Structure 1
Amino acid sequence: MAVEKVKAIAVVSGKGGVGKSLLALNLALDIGRGGSKTLLFDAAGGNLGVMSNAAFDNVNKTKTMIANLSDNVSLYVSSLRNPCLVTNSKSIRFLLQEIIGIVGGYKYVIFDCPTGVNAISQTLAGLSEKIVLISTPDPTSVAGAYIVARAFDKERMGSRIGLVFNLVDSADEAASLKTRFDILSGSFLKCRFNDFGYIRKDDVLEISVREQSPVLRDDKDSIGVEDIKAVAHKVVMDKVFQNETNEHLNLAVIRN
């Protein structure tokens, strides 16, 4: 059995286009800026390579790709480019083997998971101590987030989930969304999920996506950047990560 101890965070969403990959990218960069070796693992189809304007040593649609995003942050793009095709135990085992083969030497791994409830997102969330569930104020996005939260809670992962509301106008709007989500989850799931913060609407973030220039790599500053840093602080400073006597995530597979 090969075991690597690493602090893992899964970034998930119930709907596409809500800023999941952008958050995963900048979350990894912010943690790296703090001095921790961080691996950003793209399991969502390879879009992070474009978003980060990464310079890969090899570009092949059927093979893994890796690039350095900063001194402490590396981006790894899984060879499993189509999450919809990962449905059986063999492909999941292959994914786990990929993870085991790359995580050595890193303190954190950030999983950018496919949208929705699927074999990859459930597997990577199950490996993670913290699950960052991102949504926008759009009702369909909130509904999608609830579906993900419900599925993960059914698998006893509810206590690891923290909500992030993106593209909000203000802290008050984010608080209102969280309250309504709490009412919904409290009524039907008999639980409430953690609050990892919010990200306000920000032209700087929108421009960074168009220009493929991550804000936390280029030292840009704005309200959105401040919010992302606050989210990263909440996640990393969580008591699970700060309790060094706690047994951190064991990513383990049995090699025959």
Structure 2
Amino acid sequence: MIDQADKLRRLMKKSKNEKSTEKNKSEKRAKVLAITSGKGGVGKTNFALNFSISLQKLGYEVIIFDADVGLANVEILSGVNLKSSISDIILLNKDINEVIAKGPEGIKMVSGGSGLKELALLNEENMLKMLKEIKKLQSTADFIIIDTGAGISSVVLDFVMASDEVIIVTTPDPTSIMDSYTLIKSLSSYGFKEKLNIITNMVDDKSEGKEVFNKLNNATFNFLRIQLNYLGYIERTNIINNAVRNQIPFIVSNPNSIVSKKLNNMTINYTSNRVIKEDNENKSFAEKLLHIFSRRGER
């Protein structure tokens, strides 16, 4: 009987062969950005959703992928009912275009559903189909925003490891800072080498936002020799609380508010400092996920 690792290695070879036949074609390659956190309740999904909309308003094509397995937080916060999920590609033989839904301000939304945990257990035919459909996402957008679950589960770490870059959302709560450190330590042990960006959320002011970042950055540098990148802060405000209750992203409901303007400036700064590079043997997001699952099969 062929083991799981061998099956996945053969799929990777098939994917590579197919790719080599198309290497002369010009293909858009979205930047895949994982937004994650060490613990729940820090506003990760709310940031991911509003950040995605801000990118879209700047003229980028954006897809937000809800990879928080078994939950539907992006769906709830956006007020959009995602009737299909990535699992339906296998279960109902849908293609990715049938799974994508239109979200606020024109962003595209994809639900991971509850089937992502079983991705590595699919048979060869279904795994290859899933791979091809996920690849389509990266060729139709400028950014794919992955809203992961919180914590350091294997599913969370797999999605972050397959991404080009990561944003970690933390708060002044000491447990949030400590859990963010634990997440960074786990990523480091997995060999993550890309930029680690930090957002400090639910702070009282600019000073507290920078103080929270400094605490986390000092710990990661002193013990892990990792330097973090500070993207900015988001203050506590009833505008955000009301937007969550009303299921309308605050950048849509209050576009001229201070918090929306700060987020837009943060987005502009982020995109203006983008470094485009070819890495990881030019593998796509889907191929990197497949590679991670094949390594898991060997463990």
Give the TM interval when normalised to the shorter protein. Answer: 0.7 to 0.9
Asked if residue 141 in structure 1 is aligned to residue 172 in structure 2, the reply is: no
Q: CA, structure 1 residues 39+59, in 2 after alignment: closer, same or farther (shift >3 Å)?
A: closer
What is aligned with 1:73? 107
Worse overlay, 69-78 or 197-206: 69-78
Q: For residue 216 of structure 1, give the secondary structure of its aligned residue in structure 2.
A: helix
Asked if residue 172 in structure 1 is aligned to residue 207 in structure 2, the reply is: yes
Q: Which is richer in helix?
A: 2
* Distance in 2 between residues matched to 1:88 and 1:60, nearest whole Å: 13
Q: For residue 15 of structure 1, give the secondary structure of its aligned residue in structure 2.
A: coil
Return the offset for 1:33. 0.6
How do 1:32-181 residues align onto structure 2 when only pairs under 5 Å count? Answer: 32-44=56-68, 45-56=71-82, 58=83, 63=88, 65-70=99-104, 72-80=106-114, 86=117, 89-90=120-121, 99-181=134-216
* Distance in 1 between residues matched to 2:264 and 2:154, nearest whole Å: 30
Deviations 1:101-139 (A, max 9, x none): 433311110000011112222222122222000011001
Asked if residue 8 in structure 1 is aligned to residue 32 in structure 2, the reply is: yes
Deviations 1:133-159 (A, max 9, x none): 001100111111111111112233254
Gaps of 5+ in 1: none
Native 8 Å contact 1:13 1:145 kept in 2? yes
Q: CA, structure 1 residues 116+250, in 2 after alignment: closer, same or farther (shift >3 Å)?
A: same
Aligned-pair identity (%):
22
Q: Which is richer in strand?
A: 1
Q: CA RMSD in A?
A: 2.7
Return the offset for 1:14. 0.5
Gaps of 5+ in 2: 1-14, 20-27, 90-98, 291-299
Native 8 Å contact 1:35 1:72 kept in 2? no
Return the offset for 1:62. 6.6
Worse overlay, 68-77 or 216-225: 216-225
What is aligned with 2:52? 28
Deviations 1:164-197 (A, max 9, x none): 1000011111111122112211221012211111
* Distance in 1 between residues matched to 2:131 and 2:177, nearest whole Å: 30
Q: CA, structure 1 residues 155+61, in 2 after alignment: closer, same or farther (shift >3 Å)?
A: closer
What is the TM-score of this pair, normalised by structure 2? 0.73
Deviations 1:189-225 (A, max 9, x none): 0122111111111111110000000122345332322
Q: For residue 210 of structure 1, give the secondary structure of its aligned residue in structure 2.
A: helix
* Distance in 2 between residues matched to 1:6 and 1:61, nearest whole Å: 18
Native 8 Å contact 2:85 2:111 kept in 1? no
* Distance in 2 between residues matched to 1:38 and 1:61, nearest whole Å: 17
How do 1:230-241 residues align onto structure 2 when only pairs under 5 Å count? Answer: 230-240=265-275
Native 8 Å contact 1:130 1:235 kept in 2? no
